[in-house]
Amino acid sequence: MHAVIETGGKQYRVESGSRIRVERLAMEEGERVEFDRVLLVGDGETTVPGNPCVDGGKVSATVLGHGRAPKVNIIKFKRRKGYLRRQGHRQAYTELRITDIAAG
């Protein structure tokens, strides 16, 4: 069984037992989190699309940990003008293990 959920302004296709990295959630390791913004649920034969969400659809997950993605370097440069700006960014994430998908 698989589902499409929305969290942090992004959509993720998840399956039971899969591990995903989402935008940082303010939760401790080992806590359970439930996503009720389920956009689609499918089991291989039938697919239940939401309008925009599936009624009664829930996806449960367990927080495995938190981390930061690799550094992204941003460089702005204009030749012959003496203009150079450098900036770096590391996005924070939360790693989840999907435990249960309910179609409602």
Label residue 68 exposed, middle or buried (CB < 10 Å: 0-12, 13-18, 19+).
Answer: exposed
User: At residue 104, does pLDDT exceed 80?
Assistant: no
Q: What integer pLDDT is reported at residue 96 of this predicted model?
A: 97
Per-residue pLDDT tens digits for 71-97: 999 999 999 999 999 999 999 999 999
Q: What integer pLDDT is reported at residue 44 of this predicted model?
A: 85
Q: What integer pLDDT is reported at residue 103 of this predicted model?
A: 84
Per-residue pLDDT tens digits for 22-62: 999 999 999 999 999 999 999 889 998 999 999 999 999 99
96/72 Cα distance (integer angstroms)? 23
